[in-house]
A and B are shown apart, each in its own frame.
Chain A
Amino acid sequence: MASKFWSNQADSETESDVSDHEEDYENEGQDDANVPDPNKYRIGDSDSDDSEVKRVVKPLKDKRFEELSMTIEQMKNAMKINDWVSLQESFDKINRQLEKVMRVTESDRAPNSYIKALVMLEDFLNQAMGNKEAKRKMSSSNAKAMNAMRQKLKKNNKMYEDLISKCRENPESFKDQEEADEDDVDDGFSSVSTEPSIEDTLSDVDVIDVNQLVWTTMMNKKDKLIEKQFKDPSQVTWDTVNKKYKEVRAARGRKGTGKLEPVEQLTFLTKVAKTPAQKLQILFTLVSAQFDVNPGLNGHMPINVWKKCVQNMLVILDILEQYPNILVDDTVEPDENETEKGTDYNETIRIRGNLSAFLEMIDAEFFKSLQCIDPHTRDYVERLQDEPLFFVLAQNVQSYLERVGDHKAAAKAALKLVELVYYKPQEVYGAMRNMADQSDDNIEESRTESKAFVNTPEVVPRKPSFPTSSRELMDMLVSFIYAHGDERTKARAMLCDIYHRAVSDEFSTARDLLLMSHLQDSVQHMDISTQTLFNRSMAQLGLCAFRAGLISEGHGCLSELYSGGRVKELLAQGVSQSRYHEKTPEQELLEKRRQLPYHMHINLELLESVHLICAMLLEVPNMAANIHDARRKVISKTLRRLLEINNRQTFTGPPENVRDHIMAATRALSKGDFQTSFNVINSLDVWKLLKNRESVLEMLKNKIKEEALRTYLFTYSSSFESLKLEQLSKMFDLSESQTHCVVSKMMINEELHASWDQPTRCIVFREAEHSRLQALAFQLTEKLLVLAESNERATEARFGGGGGGLESLSSRRREGQDYASVAGGSKWQDNMSYSQGRQQSGYGGGRSYGPGQSYQNRADQSRGGYQSTRYGGLEARGGQMDGSNRMVSLNRATRV
């Protein structure tokens, strides 16, 4: 088997080189993958007898290697039968052997075969973990061994992290090495290799770092050939280049072609290209070849390749700018020899390619790299600094597409820019702008394109142009997108705009944008990333409302987000473990791919505390008002639930997390103790994240005082006959006019059965309690109403809108209400009362049990998530906000 195997690749043209490398042979054990020339290993297969001589030279070392390979073989066997127990043993063994090998070879680098084994093990483990079915069937000892193995492997692999990743990136190099190792040890072991194809060319592991200048030094055989072919620039013709180009293109993606190989070759070809069109064509292929370097869906493109890719794109744009007669098109198959036409050719030349798709890919890779890099490292920061680079590319692509008249694609490019900027407040934006100005020099250095046949001067600007304020930039881009973009682009741009306005404290404009766009209705049907964006915008809008002191609006925006307890997923900022619902690995993977990079995150603690504070400010007085039947009107279920849990505790320790703090504050507030309540909230350390912290806290303090006052009045009004304004205002540290305003509001809304006695400046309370019988009677009538309504709804559902049934019924319902209210009205209501609230509760005698009120609520709820607000809430605009707070649930999408 082995001989057949080796003979397969004996056709390579390398035989002649064999002898040159024989002397290298001895120290190859210590050699690492950096050895550029693979041919030295060739000796082993071309003449296996030679190796026996070599084996004598270093018997100890070889023995160790042999042992190692043996163990690997054992492991492979164990894998085949899924025997984790023996696998574990082998693993221990191999680690022991490794030490010996290392000692013998005096190298600090683990042998490739070992690394390969680790990779293999890891893959197998992942596969096994993923396969739930098989896992369940496993015997307990086996499962135990597997778990132990997992931990060990995890620990162990940490040490060889970089090597493993290198191996994954570029398995060929390791394979070669490994094969060489093995075949050096014993020919028999070559059969160990599971993959039959071994490419004679060795791509260099470190080629990623290779600059174009040093390219020649790293050249492998094939490239040398090319080099030879093109040694004399004068002899190079369009034909030769074209031929070579086609060759490379055909080889690409074929089994056995390294991923980096075509990149290098094409890079070289760009330099020898004869016409701009040809260069362009090659560049297009080069860029897509560079995308291929990406090791997999979950990994990201190596950063250096990414950067080169961006530079190539810029060169493409340069050419396009310089030769406006060249058209890029991906719909028509251009003529074979289209690229032959030189610079003096004035007609249009068509080249196949799609700039906006490339831009999208580059953006996706950038995004992915940020997802993968640990955000707490320097790497992340450095990676972030590439933002301007992408920015300039997107700007150039956009302006090019605009010039060509492809507005739709230009809008997409503009969206990329918007998505880069929208989450940045002005300060961060300014920092990015400064950085872009400074980093100019670096870019200059990194671009050293020289000695090319077709020189492309830099026509396109290499430096992003930022307006001074992010708002300006956003306005410019967004209006362009609104004018030209397609549905999705427009929706996303709109959401970004809303987000950005919310970040810069323009609540009312942001809200109007949201309401006018009616996005809340259509977002359910959009893709997940747009839904996430919508959720993010809502979260930011909530924070913005809170900062502006609009508590109920803030609560309206945030409550839906928190209702499911899956905030992290909704915002794509991490995954929360669920005890009841286990995810399949595919789901997990999908979710992972959706995550946002760390720098885009909305601080979850801040979000939670704002949400809970809003809920507290609304719920505490509400609970005090409806103390007797707590289930009637719940504003925030989340807070109620937390409070319940909290109350069940026997001992309450000092607050630790956000929830504890708010719970402590809530308890204090419900006692009317505004000072403690505020102090507890003030001690949260999320406030330092706010820009205008002082004013927000001041606002918060005021709100807490007011709500404390309301709570106090609700709770204790029955114990007083009259209360002095002065006393109240002193008690809650509010000005008299403020107190007056709050109390008056409560009176007008019939929350408080009292009125002012103006000469003495007192509140006089009225007794408005109903007797037991009366209360029951009210309950009965209310139930009757519910019954009647459900009957109506049943007929509506049954007959649909047949004969305007729905219309007439609902209008009747409204009429009935009006009628009742007029009939029950007093003199004031006939002609002077302005208040609808009063009319509604005219027959209920008060909000707390006014059936009209609850009736209204129910009717509204049936329409959608209606947030009942005390005053002028978000719903005011003709019911547009109805259901607007509906958060998008990712759940549905993932389960489908």
Chain B
Amino acid sequence: MERAAQQAVPLGQMEVFQALQRLHMTIFSQSVSPCGKFLAAGNNYGQIAIFSLSAALSSEAKEESKKPMVTFHAHDGPVYSMVSTDRHLLSAGDGEVKAWLWAEILKKGCKELWRRQPPYRTSLEVPEINALLLVPKENLLILAGGDCQLHAMDLETGTFMWALRGHTDYIHCLALRERSPEVLSGGEDGAVRLWDLRTAKEVQTIEVYKHEECSRPHNGRWIGCLATDSDWMVCGGGPALTLWHLRSSTPTTVFPMRAPQKHVTFYQDLILSAGQGRCVNQWQLSGELKAQVPGSSPGLLSLSLNQQPAAPECKVLTAAGNSCRVDVFTNLGYRAFSLSF
């Protein structure tokens, strides 16, 4: 590495600026296209890059295929969250949610289809949107973020139907309990709240930081990540990563991970989590660390499991965070390569 630096050609103004931009890039969000062959990644400069997973994974992959096939400027602020419907890519960050047609993006014509702003109270600062959640059955999009509320938007009409208030600080993450239509939200105030979508009422509140098993006061109360699987919920952040039994609201397993976690997800009988630190962690439900697979970024913010049935060859885990690279894990134990902005 030392040698490479010596050989490097000294750069001009533009190149230095570009290098600095890449160096300070954070990729906040990822979303896989409905066909499963493409991956969208949004960074802190408001850009969205589209990578072709199928090209990068093919046997004749070159260096260029690990670069974005198209990059476009989507938002003025960071792109904190993205989801894909069967036709659209929805991205959100600086208080607005924008929709892009996947079909058009892949043809490299990146014009926004529509944009919506949830009804905010006036403030000096526009609240950000940290999380987007699709409720396919009701054709709803739930947005949550800086204004401590959950906004529900009807995807059919584009109107905001209702807002759920309860959090006292901004909301980090959302999760959907599919069987009973309930939404979980975790926020900076340290609480995980369950909301019933049918009645639009708060059902349950778990104040994680108040439980001694998982509380870590020096890290703060905030809940950075959340995932749920029927009766089980796993959440982490300031407090330790903990598996909860929802019906009894008791912490079942506290996972021994010091660094605050930023993303967690259930995968088969495993829990995958990532956060501060280079590794993607794989946990048994019992609390044992099954594996730690190192990635290329010093800190990870999002994991994305490509489980689209349309593209079984592109079934990969991608992880992104505090770098301009998206690590691609072809199986859970091995980082194959990195896609790069």
> Is B one of A's binding partners?
no
